[in-house]
């Protein structure tokens, strides 16, 4: 066996692996180069790990304990995740290959090998997505009176109405394009729905190209509700693509349509601007955004009945190889089915409504500044309402004693109340400074619009630091009280987005602690002005020390374990990829440190390997809410420390972004955070996936007389009772 040949096959599936198989594979791995913690065999591939997460999302679509329309939504989320995977991760691997960057990653896979493994995993996943739709969800929806009607199922009455709908609503908007020397193959927009139409015969000008293209109108909904008077109930739906298929011949009078085939191209969506060469970042990004929709193609989806010669013809026009073509057993834009979740008025098939909890001292009628002077407040969203954060800004905007407000914005909603309050504060004469991160992926255009709106209201807008995304979540309010200036801060693990605050789990700290406020003030100075790195009292910041801080804390636990003192590490995050952190965790595990990690998405560490990582356990929780918070807990003998942060343990977060990590100093709050973010997920036996050494995930289930337990449901019930 060569040194570069992996012992364990990397798995991107969520297949159920027997414990004996895992132990056998782990034993083989433990004998492999134990003297080298940077050996490729010790690391799971990042891209395959991300695909494994999407596969776990897909499994929620199969879970019969999940409400039916939520299962449909999870299916669509898995499709959307796969779109973004190609737009970002596959595009990145392909670029490495094109630029001659052939060295393997920490896992030992070269770009070529990675693309081959990705292709195999995606083929399996796409087949499963359409099988779940066709064989599980569509029949289950039909049993509930929600019908997704195929063309073969239309009654004469329905077909007549749909034909009329085509002529009145679709046909006037469509612009078919015949391909000939005067009409070459057009530029096709990223992820737009298109049809390749094979034709026979000559047109009015004697042309016989044999091929035309039709683009589905972007301005029209992809799901059409059939009126109740033409159906058996209120929830009969038809895909726009099905209507186009059925009547597309009317776009080519006198010609014979030999075939009509859906296709969709996915393109590289990463934006590149040379920040050291440009003078205006916003203007440069606007230029890049105009071209994003027509960047290099990375995937072509075609209908499963599309002839090979047409698929290859389309692939050649996009510069796509056969290995980048994926056939779909159904609509190529499957994620558009999510519209049915909103159109179908069936609350009984969705999660029951949840009303977030608000502490009495943080109700809108309370004086929040007085409340924060008495104590810090910790909020766990979405179980705790995000409204107190908005109310703090509302009170600041209207309070004559408030002189200045500073805030970072990475992602916000289109109609964010916080943005409106920032504008209100600026118009009231307060000094308002906002750090807007224009390069928040897929939110660039919205953030440019947001920055322009803020500037027009008199807000001082800063675009962060060249070469480093500002990912920290911070807000500071400066208020004059009894002749002196006092500061109040909010620090969070999630974005200032009221929509995601209802569906993402995150922690918020609201405080008037002078040391904490001084730290946040200094970081804002650093972001908006010029100067050397300033010493901080409590907050730890990347890229100026967070990586070293984490390594020091992990190494401290290692020394505690070697000395026989209590030693444990518990952490919750979205992704774990940074090799230095992984190596430090392996060393800690060898010393006997108990390590529990709740990692929602990518995890490149191999847990449970004898002699290497046998004290490390990794779980991923997937359920109603998206697990998004970042929490780090270190036992430190008899002096435990708990920290919350905006940073995952990834290279980009630790070296290429401005992040903050802040301590939870109150022992009661610390215990609460550890309980809710770490302990409950490790008690979960309904929505917890355990990661094994071979990269596979095993969905835990109650054994024997074990009581079924969901971490998220336990928190919903706990917070519902205040």
Residue identified by tokens 């444990």 is 568
Residue identified by tokens 């070459």 is 184
Say whether 504 counts as a known binding-site residue. Answer: yes
Helix H, strand E, coil C: the string for 424-493 is HHHHCCCEEEEEECCCCCCCHHHHHHHHHHHHHCCCEEECCECCEEECCCEEEEEEEECCEEEEEEEEEC
Pick the closest to residue 260 from 200, 299, 306, 192 (CA basis). Answer: 306
Q: Give me the half-sphere count of Cα atoms (radius 13 Å) on the Cβ side of residue 638.
A: 1
DSSP tag of 187: P
Separation of alpha carbons 643 and 370, rounded Å: 25
Q: Which residues face 277 on adjacent strands?
A: none
Alpha helices, H only, 321-416: 338-343, 368-374, 387-398
Question: Going by C-beta distance under 8 Å and a sequence separation of 6 or more, which residues neighbour residue 146?
Answer: 235, 237, 340, 344, 346, 349
For CA atoms 619, 625, 628, 634, give the dihedral sign: negative
Separation of alpha carbons 225 and 239, rounded Å: 9
Is-contact 707 630, C-beta < 8 A? no
Separation of alpha carbons 412 and 445, rounded Å: 12
**Which one of the listed residues 471, 490, 633, 692 is annotated catalytic?**
471
DSSP tag of 642: E
Say whether 547 counts as a known binding-site residue. Answer: no
Say whether 245 counts as a known binding-site residue. Answer: no
Is-contact 391 385, C-beta < 8 A? no
Say whether 73 counts as a known binding-site residue. Answer: no
Q: Give me the half-sphere count of Cα atoms (radius 13 Å) on the Cβ side of residue 718.
A: 14
Is-contact 236 149, C-beta < 8 A? yes
Q: Distances in Å between the alpha carbon of 253 and those of 202, 250, 257? A: 10, 6, 10
90-97 long-range CB contacts below 8 Å, 24 or more apart?
90/47, 90/115, 90/118, 90/298, 90/299, 91/267, 91/268, 91/269, 91/270, 91/296, 91/298, 92/270, 93/47, 93/118, 94/268, 94/296, 94/298, 95/268
Say whether 441 counts as a known binding-site residue. Answer: yes
- What tokens appear for 485 in the block? 């200036």
Pick the closest to residue 692 from 48, 108, 17, 38 (CA basis). Answer: 17
Quickly count helices (H) and strands (E) in the chain: 21, 27
Q: For the chain, state the CA radius of gyration.
A: 27
DSSP tag of 357: B
Q: Which residues face 504 on adjacent strands?
A: 626
Is-contact 556 639, C-beta < 8 A? no
DSSP tag of 269: -
Question: Going by C-beta distance under 8 Å and a sequence separation of 6 or more, which residues neighbour residue 680?
Answer: 711, 714, 715
471 is an active site residue: yes
What separation, in Å, do the N-terminal and C-terminal C-alpha atoms of the chain show? 60
Report angle CA 412, 416, 417 to the nearest 5 degrees: 140
Separation of alpha carbons 290 and 298, rounded Å: 18
For CA atoms 576, 580, 582, 588, give the dihedral sign: negative
Pick the closest to residue 32 from 42, 47, 18 (CA basis). Answer: 42
Report angle CA 85, 86, 91 to the nearest 5 degrees: 115
Question: Going by C-beta distance under 8 Å and a sequence separation of 6 or more, which residues neighbour residue 260?
Answer: 195, 196, 197, 198, 244, 245, 248
Say whether 81 counts as a known binding-site residue. Answer: yes
Which residues are documented as binding site? 81, 411, 441, 504, 600, 628
**Residue list, annotated binding site for ATP:** 81, 504, 600, 628
Annotated binding site for Mg(2+): 411, 441
Active site residues: 471
């Amino acid at each position: 066996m060569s040194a570069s040949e992996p012992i364990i096959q990397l798995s991107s599936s969520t297949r159920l692996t027997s414990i004996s198989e895992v132990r056998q594979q782990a034993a083989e791995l433990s004998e492999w180069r134990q003297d080298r913690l940077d050996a490729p065999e010790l690391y799971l591939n990042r891209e395959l790990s991300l695909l494994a997460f999407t596969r776990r999302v897909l499994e929620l679509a199969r879970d019969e304990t999940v409400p039916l329309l939520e299962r449909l939504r999870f299916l669509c989320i898995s499709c959307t995740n796969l779109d973004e995977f190609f737009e970002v991760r596959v595009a990145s691997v392909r670029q490495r290959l094109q630029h001659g960057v052939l060295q393997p990653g920490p896992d030992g896979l070269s770009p070529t090998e990675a693309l081959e493994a990705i292709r195999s995993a995606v083929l399996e996943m796409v087949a499963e997505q359409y099988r779940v739709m066709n064989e599980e969800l569509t029949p289950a929806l039909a049993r509930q009176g929600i019908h997704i009607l195929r063309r073969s199922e239309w009654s004469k009455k329905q077909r007549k109405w749909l034909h009329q709908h085509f002529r009145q609503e679709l046909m006037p908007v469509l612009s078919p394009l015949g391909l000939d020397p005067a009409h070459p193959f057009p530029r096709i927009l990223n992820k737009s729905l298109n049809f390749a139409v094979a034709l026979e015969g000559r047109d009015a000008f004697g042309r016989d190209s044999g091929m035309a293209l039709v683009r589905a109108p972007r301005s029209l909904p992809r799901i059409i509700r059939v009126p109740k008077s033409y159906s058996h109930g209120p929830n009969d739906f038809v895909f726009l693509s099905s209507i186009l298929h059925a009547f597309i011949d009317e776009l080519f009078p006198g010609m014979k349509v030999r075939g009509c085939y859906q296709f969709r191209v996915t393109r590289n969506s990463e934006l590149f601007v040379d920040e050291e060469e440009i003078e205006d970042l916003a203007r440069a990004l606007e230029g890049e955004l105009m071209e994003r929709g027509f960047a290099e193609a990375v995937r072509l989806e075609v209908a499963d009945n599309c002839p090979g010669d047409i698929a290859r013809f389309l692939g050649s026009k996009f510069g796509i190889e056969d290995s980048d073509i994926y056939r779909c057993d159904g609509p190529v834009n499957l994620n558009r089915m999510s519209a049915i979740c909103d159109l179908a008025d069936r609350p009984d098939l969705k999660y029951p409504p949840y009303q977030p909890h608000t502490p009495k001292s943080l109700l809108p009628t309370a004086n929040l500044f007085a409340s924060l002077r008495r104590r810090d407040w910790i909020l766990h969203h979405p179980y705790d309402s995000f409204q107190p954060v908005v109310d703090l800004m509302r009170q600041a905007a209207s309070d004559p004693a408030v002189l200045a407000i500073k805030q970072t914005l990475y992602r916000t909603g289109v109609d964010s109340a916080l943005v409106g309050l920032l504008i209100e504060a600026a118009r009231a004469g307060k000094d308002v400074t906002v750090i807007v991160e224009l390069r928040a992926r897929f939110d660039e255009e919205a953030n440019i619009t947001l920055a322009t709106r803020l500037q027009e209201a008199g807000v001082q807008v800063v675009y962060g630091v060249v070469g480093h995304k500002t990912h920290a979540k911070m807000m500071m309010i400066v208020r004059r009280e009894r002749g002196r200036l006092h500061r109040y801060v909010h620090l969070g693990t999630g974005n200032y987005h009221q929509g995601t605050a209802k569906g993402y789990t995150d922690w918020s700290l609201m405080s008037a602690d002078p040391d904490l406020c001084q730290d946040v003030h200094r970081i804002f100075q650093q972001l908006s002005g010029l100067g050397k790195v300033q010493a901080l009292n409590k907050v730890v910041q990347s890229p100026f020390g967070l990586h070293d801080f984490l390594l020091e804390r992990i190494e401290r636990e290692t020394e505690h374990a070697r000395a026989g003192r209590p030693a444990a590490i518990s952490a919750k995050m979205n992704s774990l990829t940074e090799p230095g952190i992984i190596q430090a965790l392996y060393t800690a595990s060898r010393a006997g440190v108990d390590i529990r990690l709740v990692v929602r998405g990518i995890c490149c560490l191999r847990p449970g390997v004898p002699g290497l990582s046998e004290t490390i356990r990794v779980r991923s929780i997937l359920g109603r809410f998206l697990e998004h918070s970042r929490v780090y807990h270190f036992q430190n003998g008899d002096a435990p420390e708990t920290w919350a942060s905006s940073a995952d343990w990834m290279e980009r977060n630790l070296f290429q972004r401005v992040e903050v990590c802040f301590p939870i100093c109150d022992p009661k709050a610390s215990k609460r955070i550890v309980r809710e973010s770490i302990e409950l997920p490790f008690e979960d036996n309904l929505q917890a996936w355990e990661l094994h050494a071979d990269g596979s995930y095993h969905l835990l289930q109650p054994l024997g007389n074990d009581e079924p337990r969901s971490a998220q449901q336990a928190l919903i019930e706990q917070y519902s009772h205040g």
